[in-house]
């Protein structure tokens, strides 16, 4: 993407030289012939990068940096200083400059490298800021994510492995939050200031997946009109998340194994070897050991990915988290939709607790979103639109509910409180009976 760059220098030859080099790189370039003109342009525009000479009549480059940086904190700055006056550049960097260039310029490639690195760092910071903001919008706080004994165990594992470079394999049913855990691993790692790049392996055809992961050169295949970096290059220095890794085609498995072993690869259609420093976090809802035994997944790749396994429990095994998560989602959607949420009725709470949640947290979020849209404050059970199995069905209301309560209590009395016998007499499962006893406050 083209960047907007301002050059501030009282030397017309230097401005022209820089302008030509930077414009050749596809950037939008403006010039200012002194510090005062430069400050006016900085305040009036939104530049990704400002390149300024330090020694100028009137307003110096350091003064421009100090004032302009205060007013436009998102802009990056590179200062130009004469060879032999490096102490001036050091002072400018303490004031907020990202780097410096010395004149006379000897090598245009050095200029390109410095500018590209500064812009790349700025882009990475924007990406991290965006991800942090999006995480705050989409996901509950950490204490809620890891609510309950089983998830506390997961949290302990995450805290142990995050500071290390080890590959992590997150397993668990669909909808349990595997990508969220991967993001937490990244955010708690030394790589948190670098990119987090997610790839959903099952969503792409084999030919597209290889290009997506490793990039391609121009002309590598029909439609490849220009070279393109792959996700591994984009994640360099950071973390790549490979979701649904069990669906990776055999040919791509071979190439991924090499990246994990050698930290290098070639783009599709290319011969140049590219080295990367990337931490791999993968996820699957399959039993990869079974996939290995069935020869659908490479054993050597499995061991490379499974250095540190983390297993996420289904939501049904975390009953203490259901209502807090439901309330979190309801409040979030109420704010998003401009609705009022005043809580769940007792019947809605009972329904949320009884339901099996085959779609786990993802299903819970979708159910609550729909209920909030339909509600006018309090969410009742019928707004949840849950389809219960016979064992999960909530109790009837009114007269039918009273009749059921009296019948269950009578049977419990007759069998001396033996729940197993009572369930057999009533023709319901023991689990359903236990729910009914709790719901009606019965004496077993």
Instruction: Sort 200 into a burial class: Cβ within 10 Å, 0-12 / 13-18 / 19+.
Output: middle
d(CA 381, CA 142): 28
What pLDDT sits at residue 236?
A: 92
Q: Which fold has domain 4-120?
A: Rossmann fold (3.40.50)
Is 363 a residue whose pLDDT tops 80? yes
Compute the distance between CA of residue 423 and CA of residue 428 in angstroms, rounded to an integer. 5
Report, as an integer, the average pLDDT of 366-381.
91
Q: Which of 317-321, 364-368, 382-386 has the lowest mean pLDDT?
A: 382-386
CATH class (in words) of the domain with range 139-311: alpha beta
Backbone angles phi, psi at 7, to 5 degrees: -110, 125
Q: How many CB atoms neighbour CB 404 within 10 A?
A: 16
Beta bridge mates, 99 = 78
For residue 16, is pLDDT > 60? yes
- Give the pLDDT mean for 89-106: 80
DSSP 165-205: ---EEEE-STTS-HHHHHHHHHHTSTTTTS-EEEEEGGGS-
Task: Identify which has the larger pLDDT, 271 or 124.
Answer: 271
Q: Quote the crossing angle between the two packed helices 178-187 and 108-138, to the nearest 10°.
A: 130
Does the model's pTM come out above 0.85?
no
Q: What is the largest CA-CA distance in the chain?
A: 102
Measured in degrees and rounded to the nearest 5, phi and psi for residue 328 equal -60, -50
pLDDT tens by residue, 107-125: 788 888 888 888 877 766 6
Higher pLDDT, 26 or 313: 313
| β-pairing verdict for 264-266 and 273-275 | antiparallel
Q: What is the pLDDT of residues 232-246, one digit of tens each?
A: 999 999 999 999 999
What CA–CA distance (Å, rounded) separates 179 from 162?
14
Question: Are residues 254 and 279 in contact, defined by beta-carbon separation less than 8 angstroms?
Answer: no
pLDDT: which is higher, 128 or 88: 88
- Buried b vs exposed e over 165-191: b needs ≥16 C-beta within 10 Å? eebbbbbbbebbbbbbbbbbbbbebeb
pLDDT, residue 118, reads 83
Secondary structure class of 255 (helix, strand, coil): helix
Q: How confident is the model at residue 397 (pLDDT cuts 50, 70, 90)?
A: very low
pLDDT digits (tens, 9 = 90+) for 195-204: 999 999 888 7
- pLDDT for 426 equals 66
Q: What is the mean pLDDT of the chain?
A: 85
Q: Is the pLDDT of residue 2 over 50?
A: yes
Q: Between these two residues, 5 and 429, which has the higher pLDDT value?
A: 5
Q: How far apart are CA 58 and CA 36, in angstroms?
A: 7
Q: CA-CA distance, 355 to 152, in Å (whole number)?
A: 23
pLDDT at 20 over 60: yes
Q: Which of 172, 187, 159 is nearest to 245 (CA)?
A: 172
Please measure the distance between the N-terminal and C-terminal CA atoms of the chain and give it in whole angstroms.
69
pLDDT in tens, 332-359: 899 889 988 999 988 888 889 888 999 9
State how far the Cα of 184 lies from the Cα of 143, in Å rounded to an integer.
Answer: 12
Contacts 24+ apart (CB under 8 A), 261-265: 261/304, 265/214, 265/232
Which uninterrupted H or E stretch holds 354?
helix 346-354
Angstrom distance (rounded) from CA 300 to CA 306:
10
**Residue 125: predicted pLDDT:** 60
Composition of the chain by helix, strand, coil, percent to 5: 50, 15, 35
Q: How many whole angstroms separate alpha carbon 376 and alpha carbon 399?
A: 27
pLDDT at 126: 59
Give the domain ranges of the chain. 4-120, 139-311, 317-384, 398-440
Structure tokens at 326: 């439901």
Residue 38's pLDDT is what?
Answer: 92
The yes/no answer on whether domain 398-440 falls in CATH 1.10.10.60 is: yes
Half-sphere exposure of 203 (CA within 13 A, CB side): 7
4-120 and 398-440 have identical folds:
no
Quote the pLDDT of residue 400.
46
Going by pLDDT thresholds of 50, 70 and 90, the confidence category of residue 46 is confident
pLDDT at residue 129 greater than cutoff 60: no
Residue 24 and residue 27: Cα distance in Å, rounded?
7
Task: Tell me: pLDDT of 285 over 70.
Answer: yes
Q: Tell me the pLDDT band of 312, cut-offs 50, 70 and 90.
A: very high
The more confident residue out of 165 and 385 is: 165
The closest of 199, 224, 195 to 212, measured between CA atoms, is 199
Q: Please, which pLDDT band fits residue 399 given cuts at 50, 70 and 90?
A: very low
Q: Is the predicted pLDDT of residue 182 greater than 50, yes or no?
A: yes
User: Which of 30-34, 142-146, 304-308, 352-356 comes out lowest in average pLDDT?
Assistant: 142-146
Q: Using the predicted structure, report yes or no on whether residue 86 has a pLDDT greater than 80.
A: no
Give me the percent of the chain exceeding a pLDDT of 70: 89
Instruction: Give the angle subtended at the CA of 131 by the CAs of 333 and 151, to the nearest 5°.
Output: 70
Confidence band for 444, pLDDT divided at 50, 70 and 90 = low
Instruction: pLDDT band for 398, please (50, 70, 90 cuts).
Output: very low
Tokens 């791999």: give the residue.
Answer: 280
Which whole-number Å values give the CA distances from 379 to 352, 355, 388, 390, in the listed order?
11, 16, 18, 23
CA distances (Å), origin 429, targets 317, 391, 400: 19, 6, 19
Its CATH architecture, for the domain 317-384, is Orthogonal Bundle (1.10)
Report how far residue 180's alpha carbon sits from residue 241's, in angstroms, rounded to the nearest whole number: 10
58 or 171: which leads in pLDDT: 171
């Amino acid at each position: 993407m083209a960047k907007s760059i301002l050059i501030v220098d009282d030397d017309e030859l230097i401005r022209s030289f820089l302008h030509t080099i930077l414009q050749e790189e596809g950037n939008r370039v403006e010039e200012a012939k002194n510090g005062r003109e430069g400050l006016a342009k900085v305040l009036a525009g939104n530049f990704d990068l400002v390149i300024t000479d330090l020694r100028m009549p009137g307003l110096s480059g350091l003064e421009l940096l100090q004032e302009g940086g205060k007013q436009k904190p998102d802009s990056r700055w590179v200062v130009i200083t004469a060879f032999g006056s490096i102490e001036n550049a050091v002072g400018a960097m303490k004031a907020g400059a990202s780097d410096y260039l010395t004149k006379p310029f000897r090598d245009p490639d050095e200029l390109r490298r410095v500018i590209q690195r500064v812009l790349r760092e700025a882009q990475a910071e924007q990406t991290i800021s965006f991800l942090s903001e999006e995480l705050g919008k989409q996901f509950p706080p950490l204490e809620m994510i890891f609510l309950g004994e089983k998830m506390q165990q997961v949290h302990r594992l995450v805290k142990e492995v995050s500071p290390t470079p080890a590959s992590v394999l997150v397993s668990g049913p669909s909808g349990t939050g595997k990508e969220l855990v991967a993001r937490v691993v990244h955010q708690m790692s030394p790589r948190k200031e670098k990119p987090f790049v997610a790839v959903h392996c099952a969503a792409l055809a084999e030919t597209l997946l290889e290009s997506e992961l490793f990039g391609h050169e121009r002309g590598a295949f029909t439609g490849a009109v220009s070279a393109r970096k792959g996700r591994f290059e984009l994640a360099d220095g950071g973390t790549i998340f490979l979701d649904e890794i069990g669906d990776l085609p055999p040919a791509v498995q071979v190439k991924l194994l090499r990246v994990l072993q050698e930290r290098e690869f070639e783009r599709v259609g290319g011969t140049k070897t590219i080295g990367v420093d990337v931490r791999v976090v993968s996820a699957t809802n399959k039993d990869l050991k079974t996939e290995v035994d069935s020869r659908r997944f490479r054993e050597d790749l499995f061991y490379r990915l499974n250095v540190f396994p983390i297993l996420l429990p289904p939501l049904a095994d975390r009953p203490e988290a259901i209502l807090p998560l439901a309330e979190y989602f309801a409040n979030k959607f109420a704010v998003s939709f401009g609705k009022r949420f005043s809580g769940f009725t007792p019947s809605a709470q009972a329904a949320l607790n009884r339901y099996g949640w085959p779609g786990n947290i993802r299903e819970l979020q979708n159910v609550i979103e729909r209920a909030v849209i339909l509600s006018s404050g309090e969410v009742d059970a019928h707004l949840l639109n849950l389809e219960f199995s016979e064992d999960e069905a909530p109790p009837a209301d009114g007269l039918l509910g009273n009749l059921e309560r009296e019948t269950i209590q009578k049977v419990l009395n007759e069998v001396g409180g033996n729940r197993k016998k009572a369930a057999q007499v009533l023709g319901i499962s023991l689990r359903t009976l236990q729910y009914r006893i709790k719901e009606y406050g019965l004496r077993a």
